[in-house]
């Protein structure tokens, strides 16, 4: 636990920005479901409020634990992560052709989401323990295997976007630890060499058909032109929603694409398009600025962390928030294939919200045990 003296180091600016994003997200979830005839969907905003309140307790609880404790239990944490991912494959809940969730009754829990930060803790412990030898090729290979096993289990679900997130976290942590550029370049070349193999597997395996369809639709939109509700439909509606919002939007609860329900999954994958439709360019830019501030603040805490482990934790958490924000927004703007990533702190979902707030709690744990941030 921490004393009142330590409490004053809590980063209220970071927490305030996160709270603004969560509150705005709840507001947009409510608007996205105003005209829905499904009572369960109509109640999503209320449930998100409950998730947020529980999430605040999670932030305080995680902040209270000295982050250095996780290094001592990294092997147990890693084993628990692998175990959860195996359990998902055996008894997981199937949805939209993927098995990613464990039904806990009150909520569907997605271990791969939590694993983004668990792998940060365990990989961070590994890198810290081998920091004197991190430039050795063998250590880099072992770190890649460390991340590769859970990433492979997630890819099997199938969930390509989350598996890629694990790879990005690996790259960010190794980069922050001072690994040789030549080693990272070798692995980047390996990834490029294996990309055609992965694409061939995706396009020839029925279980991964939806991933292949998203990639094909992004490259050749006309391939999906005959399907009125096909893979290209959602992105077309997202672009229309954002474009029709103009500078200031059509007004809260008055977005034509949102309220007439042309825009699908508007409270999760395409909540950014919902914001654009109702609050326009100004609203989307404000969201971008808030997310940028959160990421900047997390990285800033990493720079002044007391030890390398604290630095790595912050770089891992910041990278997850940055990459998932980029993937979601870029998908909405049709800059990359639709990834299925949610927008951190804004999209509906207890599992993703709690997971991201655990990440914020970890960052707060680092700053609580150091001096207050000064600019």
pLDDT higher than threshold 80 for residue 4: no
Q: Do 50 and 84 meet the contact criterion of CB atoms below 8 Å apart?
A: no
Give the per-residue pLDDT at 222: 64
C-alpha dist (Å) from residue 159 to 25, 41, 45, 193, 295: 24, 24, 26, 21, 24
Average pLDDT, the chain: 87
- Look up residue 375 and give its two tokens: 């600019």
| Alpha carbons 80 and 210: distance in angstroms, whole number | 29
Q: Using a pLDDT cut of 90, give the percent of the chain over it.
A: 57
pLDDT at 225: 53
Percentage with pLDDT > 70 across the chain: 92
CA 165, chain centre distance (Å): 8
pTM of the model: 0.90
Any alpha helices (H) in 8-68, and if so which ranges?
12-32, 39-42, 44-64
Mean pLDDT, to the nearest integer, of 278-305? 96
Per the listing, tokens 């309140």 go with 53
DSSP states along 73-127: THHHHHHHHHHHHHHHHHHPEEETTEEEEEE-SSSEE-HHHHHHHHHHHHHHHHH
Q: How far is CA 178 from CA 147, 171, 174, 183, 221, in A?
A: 18, 11, 7, 11, 42
pLDDT value for 373: 46
pLDDT at 230: 58
Q: What is the pLDDT of residue 224?
A: 57
Identify the helix (H) or strand (E) that includes residue 160: helix 160-176
Per-residue pLDDT reduced to its tens digit, 183-205: 888 888 888 888 888 888 877 88
Average pLDDT over residues 75-90: 93
Q: What is the pLDDT of residues 312-344, one digit of tens each?
A: 999 999 999 999 999 999 999 999 888 778 899
pLDDT at 176: 86
**pLDDT tens-place string over residues 138-159:** 999 999 999 999 999 998 888 8
27, pLDDT greater than 60:
yes
In tens, the pLDDT along 205-219 reads 877 777 777 787 777
> Which is more confident, 97 or 178?
178
How far CA 135 is from CA of 74, 97, 130, 175, 184, in Å, comes to 22, 41, 9, 11, 10
Residue 144 tokens, joined: 């890649």
Single out the residue of 288, 296, 290 nearest to residue 373, CA to CA. 296
Is residue 329 within 8 Å of residue 260, measured between CB atoms? no
Structure confidence at residue 375 (pLDDT): 42
Task: Kindly state the average pLDDT of the residues 12-31.
Answer: 96
Please report the pLDDT score of residue 328 as a whole number. 94
* Listed residue (143, 147, 122) closest to 133, CA to CA: 143
Comparing 200 with 116, which gets the higher pLDDT?
116
Q: Quote the CA–CA distance of 197 and 169 in Å, as a whole number.
A: 23
Q: How far apart (Å, rounded) are the C-alpha atoms in residues 263 and 261?
A: 5
* Structure confidence at residue 264 (pLDDT): 87
- Which of the 8 DSSP states describes residue 274? H
Rounded Cα distance, 140 and 336, in Å: 29
The length of the chain in residues reads 375
Per-residue pLDDT at 374: 47
Angle between helical axes of 44-64 and 12-32 (0-180°, round to 10)? 160
Of 362, 364, 368, 366, nearest to 120 (Cα)?
Answer: 362
Q: How far from each other are the two terminal CA atoms of the chain, in whole angstroms?
A: 27
Question: Using CA atoms, how far apart are residues 36 and 40, in angstroms rounded to an integer?
Answer: 9
């Amino acid at each position: 636990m921490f004393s009142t003296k330590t409490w004053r180091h809590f980063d209220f600016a970071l927490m305030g920005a996160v709270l603004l994003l969560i509150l705005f997200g709840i507001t947009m979830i409510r608007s996205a479901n105003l005209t829905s005839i499904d009572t369960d969907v109509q109640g999503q905003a209320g449930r998100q409020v409950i998730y947020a309140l529980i999430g605040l307790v999670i932030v305080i609880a995680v902040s209270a634990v000295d982050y250095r404790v996780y290094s001592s239990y990294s092997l147990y944490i890693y084993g628990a992560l692998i175990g959860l991912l195996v359990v998902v494959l055996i008894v997981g809940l199937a949805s939209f052709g993927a098995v990613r969730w464990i039904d806990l009754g009150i909520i569907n829990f997605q271990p791969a989401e939590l694993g983004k930060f668990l792998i940060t803790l365990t990989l961070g412990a590994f890198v810290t323990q081998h920091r004197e030898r991190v430039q050795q090729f063998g250590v880099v290979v072992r770190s890649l295997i460390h991340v590769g096993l859970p990433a492979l289990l997630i890819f099997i679900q199938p969930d390509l976007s989350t598996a890629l997130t694990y790879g990005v976290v690996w790259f960010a942590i190794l980069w922050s630890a001072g690994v040789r550029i030549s080693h990272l370049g070798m692995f980047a070349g390996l990834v490029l060499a294996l990309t055609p193999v992965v694409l061939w597997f995706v396009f020839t395996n029925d279980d991964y058909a939806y991933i292949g369809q998203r990639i094909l639709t992004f490259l050749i939109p006309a391939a999906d032109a005959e399907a009125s509700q096909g893979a290209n439909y959602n992105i077309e509606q997202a672009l229309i929603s954002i474009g029709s919002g103009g500078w200031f939007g059509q007004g809260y609860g008055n977005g034509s694409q949102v309220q007439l329900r042309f825009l699908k999954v508007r409270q999760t994958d395409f909540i950014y398009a919902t914001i654009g439709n109702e609050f326009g360019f100004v609203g989307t830019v404000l969201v971008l600025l808030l997310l940028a501030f959160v990421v900047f603040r997390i990285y800033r805490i990493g720079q002044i962390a007391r030890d390398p482990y604290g630095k790595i934790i912050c770089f891992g958490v910041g990278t997850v928030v940055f990459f998932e924000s980029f993937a979601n927004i870029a998908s909405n703007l049709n800059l990359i294939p639709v990834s299925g990533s949610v927008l951190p702190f804004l999209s509906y979902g207890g599992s993703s919200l709690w997971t991201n707030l655990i990440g914020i709690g970890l960052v707060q744990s680092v700053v609580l045990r150091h001096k207050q941030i000064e600019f």
